C-alpha cells in the first residue's frame, strides 16, 4: 500500500504532465482550480490519469468533490 | 478601392521550418517528398509524402502542444513567424500597433484535426471511453487552427475558417480581402494548414487512384505536366501572412512585400471530385480575379498553378490558363511548386500565395521540378526544372487553387506598393 506522500508525489507528476504545474507546488492543501490554475478539461485528464495510475474508478458525480490535492489523495487511499 | 498589402510572412513546410529556408529550397528546386518508414505504411500502395521539415511540437510549449492537433501546431508556428515578421509581439499577443477590434483571422484547413480524431477513436476502441481526451473536440474541429491563432493575438473582428477542400486557404485569403475592403477589419492574419499524413487518408486518396505510387523515387514522384506523372503527393505544413490596408501599413511604417490585388471564386457544379473537363469554372475564377483586381491578361507575368501532378487535372488547368489569358499566356511564367512541396490540401493555397508573393518580390519564379518529358501542346510557358527570372517593372501574378466539390479560387498578387 502506497503512503500518502507516495500518492501525492505520483499525482504531482501527473498534474505536471497534464497542466504544466511544477511538482513542488502540488501539495495536499492546494485547490486544483484556485491555487494550481487547472482548468476543467485538464481536471478530467488528471482524474482519468489517476484511474490508470492507481487502479481506482472515479465516477463523474464524485469528481466534483475532489477540489484539493488532498481530496484526490484521500479518495485514492480509500478506494485502491 | 482599399488597397491591401502583405506585411508579414511565415511558413513551416516540407522544405523548411521557416519562410527563408522554404523559399531558398523552392528556388533551388529541392524536393520535400520522402519515403515513409513507419511499419504501418508498409502494406499501403502509397508510402511517400512530403513531411514537415521541422516537427512543430518542438517549437511549442509541451503542455500547450498536447492540447493542440498537429495541424494547429503547424499553424501556430507559421503564424508566430508572420506576426513577428510584421513587427508585432507574439508572446503578449496584444500590440499597441493593432486595435483588436479591427483584427481578424481567416485561416483554413481542408480536413481538420485528423490525427486527434483518429487517435482518440483508437483509444476509445482499444481502452474504453474514459481514455478519450476531453480536448478531443477543440483539437479536431476545423476552426481550431484559426481560433488558436486568434486567441493568441486577441483578434476580435472575427475568426473564419472557410472549407473548400484543396481551395480552402485561397478562399480564406479571398474572404479576408473582402472583409478588409468592406471595412470590417484593418489587419488580418490569413493562411492555411494541413496535417493529414496518416495511413487512413493515404489509403483513402490511394483508393481514389489520386496519389502517386512512385514509392522508390519519392523526390521524383510529384511531376506536374510530365507525361510520367501518376498522381499527387500528400504534403503537410502551414503558411500564414499578415495583411493590412495600405493606409494602416503606411501609418505604422511597416515593410511591404507586395499587394493582394483581388480574387475570384467560381464553382464547377459538375462532379464531387472531377474538375469540369472544359476548364470553364477554372478560367472563370481567373477572369473574375483579374476583373476584381482591375487588371487584364496583359498584366500577368506569372501563374502559380494548382498543378497537382494528376493525369487529368494538369492538362485541364493548362487549358483553363490558356483560355483565361489568351495569347497573353505566352508571357506568363507558369509553375507548380507542388512538384517540391507536395500537395498541402487545405494549406496549399496559402503556401502557394506566399510563393507567388515571394516570386514577385525577388523577381524569380521557382521551378517545376521533374518536368523531364512534358505533355505536348499545353499552350503555357512552364518554368521547367530551373528558376526563371521575371522582368523589371510592374509585376502581377495569379495563384490558382481548386478543390474537391468543384471550388475554384484565384488570387491576384502584384508588386505595387512594395517598398524594398
Q: How confident is the model at residue B39 (pLDDT cuts 50, 70, 90)?
A: confident
Question: Would the pLDDT of B372 be above 50?
Answer: yes
| Whole-number pLDDT of residue B163 | 97
Question: Would the pLDDT of B96 be above 90?
Answer: no
Domains and CATH numbers, chain B: 4-251 (3.40.47.10), 262-405 (3.40.47.10)
Nearest to A47 by CA among B139, B131, B122: B131
Instruction: Tell me whether residues A45 and B130 touch, CB distance under 8 A.
Output: no
Q: Touching check for B420 and chain A: CB below 8 Å?
A: no
Instruction: Tell me whether residues B62 and A20 touch, CB distance under 8 A.
Output: yes
Q: Touching check for A48 and chain B: CB below 8 Å?
A: yes
How many beta-carbon pairs below 8 A join chains A and B?
17
- Give me the residue from A20, A42, A48 closest to B130, CB to CB: A48
Interface of A with B in 61-80 (CB under 8 A): none
Active site residue B302: no
- Over residues B292-339, the pLDDT tens digits come to 999 999 999 999 999 999 999 999 999 999 999 999 999 999 999 999
| Whole-number pLDDT of residue B282 | 98
Percent above pLDDT 70 for chain B: 100
Lowest mean pLDDT among A14-28, B35-49, B227-241, B297-311: B35-49
Q: Touching check for A35 and chain B: CB below 8 Å?
A: no
Question: ipTM score of the complex?
Answer: 0.89
Compute the average pLDDT of residues B380-384: 98
| Whole-number pLDDT of residue B418 | 79
Q: Do the Cβ atoms of B270 and B280 come closer than 8 Å?
A: no
| Whole-number pLDDT of residue B310 | 97
- Over residues B258-285, the pLDDT tens digits come to 999 999 999 999 999 999 999 999 999 9
Q: Do the Cβ atoms of B300 and B396 come closer than 8 Å?
A: yes
Give residue for cell 509524402: B49
What's chain B's Rg over C-alpha atoms? 20
Q: Touching check for B61 and chain A: CB below 8 Å?
A: yes
Q: How confident is the model at residue B186 (pLDDT cuts 50, 70, 90)?
A: very high
Question: Would the pLDDT of B155 be above 80?
Answer: yes
Q: Do the Cβ atoms of B248 and B396 come closer than 8 Å?
A: no
Residue tagged active-site, from B160, B248, B302, B306: B306
Task: Determine how β-strand B237-245 pairs with β-strand B4-12.
Answer: antiparallel
Q: Touching check for A19 and chain B: CB below 8 Å?
A: yes
| Whole-number pLDDT of residue B40 | 84
Instruction: Tell me whether residues B131 and A48 touch, CB distance under 8 A.
Output: yes
Q: What is the mean pLDDT of chain B?
A: 97
Compute the average pLDDT of residues B30-47: 93
Instruction: Tell me whether residues B63 and A18 touch, CB distance under 8 A.
Output: yes
Q: Do the Cβ atoms of B67 and B147 come closer than 8 Å?
A: no
- Over residues B67-83, the pLDDT tens digits come to 999 999 999 999 999 99
| Whole-number pLDDT of residue B420 | 41
Lowest mean pLDDT among A54-63, B140-149, B227-236, B294-303: A54-63
Q: Where are the domains of chain A?
A: 4-79
- Give me the residue from A17, A18, A51 closest to B130, CB to CB: A51
CATH numeric code, A4-79 = 1.10.1200.10
Q: How far is CA B139 from CA B77, B92, B114, B130, in A?
A: 16, 23, 9, 17
Nearest to B337 by CA among B283, B401, B284, B273: B401
> Backbone dihedral region of B122: left (phi > 0), alpha (psi from -120 to 50 degrees) or beta?
alpha
Active site residue B248: no
Question: Would the pLDDT of B127 be above 60?
Answer: yes
| Whole-number pLDDT of residue B119 | 97
The separation between the first and the last C-alpha atoms of chain B, rounded to the nearest angstrom, is 23
| Whole-number pLDDT of residue B419 | 60
Rounded Cα gap, residues B147 and B160, in angstroms: 8
Rounded Cα gap, residues B342 and B222, in angstroms: 7
Question: Would the pLDDT of B60 be above 70?
Answer: yes
Q: For residue A1, with 0-12 CB atoms within 10 Å meaning exposed, 13-18 middle and 19 or more buried, which class applies?
A: exposed
Amino acid at each position: 500500500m502506497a503512503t500518502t506522500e507516495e500518492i501525492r508525489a505520483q499525482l504531482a507528476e501527473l498534474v505536471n504532465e497534464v497542466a504544466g504545474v511544477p511538482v513542488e507546488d502540488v501539495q495536499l492543501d492546494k485547490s486544483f482550480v484556485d491555487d494550481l490554475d487547472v482548468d476543467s478539461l485538464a481536471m478530467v485528464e488528471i482524474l482519468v490519469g489517476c484511474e490508470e495510475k492507481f487502479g481506482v474508478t472515479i465516477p463523474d458525480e464524485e469528481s466534483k468533490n475532489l477540489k484539493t490535492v488532498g481530496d484526490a489523495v484521500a479518495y485514492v487511499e480509500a478506494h485502491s | 478601392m482599399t488597397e491591401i498589402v502583405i506585411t508579414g510572412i511565415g511558413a513551416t513546410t516540407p522544405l523548411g521550418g521557416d519562410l527563408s529556408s522554404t523559399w531558398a529550397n523552392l528556388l533551388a528546386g529541392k524536393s520535400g517528398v520522402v519515403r515513409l518508414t513507419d511499419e504501418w505504411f508498409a502494406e499501403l500502395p502509397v508510402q511517400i509524402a512530403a513531411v514537415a521539415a521541422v516537427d512543430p511540437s518542438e517549437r511549442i510549449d509541451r503542455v500547450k502542444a498536447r492540447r493542440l492537433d498537429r495541424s494547429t501546431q503547424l499553424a501556430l508556428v507559421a503564424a508566430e513567424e508572420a506576426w513577428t515578421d510584421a513587427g508585432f509581439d507574439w508572446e503578449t499577443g496584444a500590440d499597441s500597433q493593432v486595435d483588436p477590434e479591427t483584427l481578424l483571422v481567416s485561416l483554413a484547413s481542408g480536413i481538420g484535426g485528423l490525427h486527434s480524431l483518429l487517435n482518440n477513436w483508437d483509444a476509445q476502441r482499444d481502452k474504453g471511453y474514459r481514455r478519450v481526451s476531453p480536448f478531443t473536440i477543440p483539437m479536431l474541429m476545423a476552426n481550431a487552427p484559426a481560433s488558436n491563432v486568434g486567441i493568441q493575438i486577441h483578434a476580435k473582428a472575427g475568426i473564419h475558417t472557410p472549407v473548400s477542400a484543396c481551395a480552402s486557404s485561397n478562399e480564406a485569403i479571398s474572404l479576408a480581402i473582402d472583409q478588409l475592403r468592406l471595412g470590417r477589419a484593418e489587419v488580418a492574419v490569413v493562411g492555411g494548414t494541413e496535417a493529414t499524413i496518416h495511413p487512413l487518408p493515404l489509403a483513402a486518396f490511394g483508393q481514389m487512384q489520386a496519389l502517386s505510387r512512385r514509392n522508390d523515387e519519392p523526390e521524383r514522384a510529384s511531376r506536374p505536366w510530365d507525361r510520367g506523372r501518376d498522381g499527387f503527393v500528400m504534403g503537410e505544413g502551414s503558411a500564414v501572412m499578415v495583411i493590412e490596408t495600405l493606409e494602416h501599413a503606411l501609418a505604422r511604417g511597416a515593410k511591404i512585400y507586395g499587394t493582394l490585388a483581388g480574387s475570384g471564386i467560381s464553382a464547377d457544379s459538375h462532379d464531387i471530385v472531377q474538375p469540369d473537363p472544359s476548364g470553364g469554372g477554372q478560367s472563370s475564377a481567373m477572369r473574375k480575379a483579374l476583373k476584381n483586381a482591375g487588371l487584364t491578361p496583359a498584366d500577368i507575368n506569372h501563374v502559380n498553378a494548382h498543378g497537382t501532378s494528376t493525369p487529368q487535372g494538369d492538362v485541364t488547368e493548362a487549358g483553363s490558363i490558356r483560355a483565361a489569358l489568351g495569347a497573353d499566356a505566352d508571357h506568363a511564367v507558369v509553375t507548380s511548386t507542388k512538384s517540391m512541396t507536395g500537395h498541402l490540401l487545405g494549406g496549399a493555397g496559402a503556401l502557394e500565395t506566399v510563393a507567388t508573393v515571394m516570386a514577385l518580390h525577388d523577381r524569380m519564379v521557382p521551378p517545376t521540378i521533374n518536368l523531364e518529358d512534358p505533355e505536348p501542346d499545353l499552350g503555357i510557358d512552364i518554368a521547367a526544372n530551373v528558376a526563371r527570372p521575371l522582368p523589371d517593372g510592374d509585376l502581377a501574378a495569379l495563384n490558382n487553387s481548386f478543390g474537391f466539390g468543384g471550388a475554384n479560387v484565384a488570387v491576384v498578387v502584384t508588386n505595387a506598393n512594395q517598398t524594398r
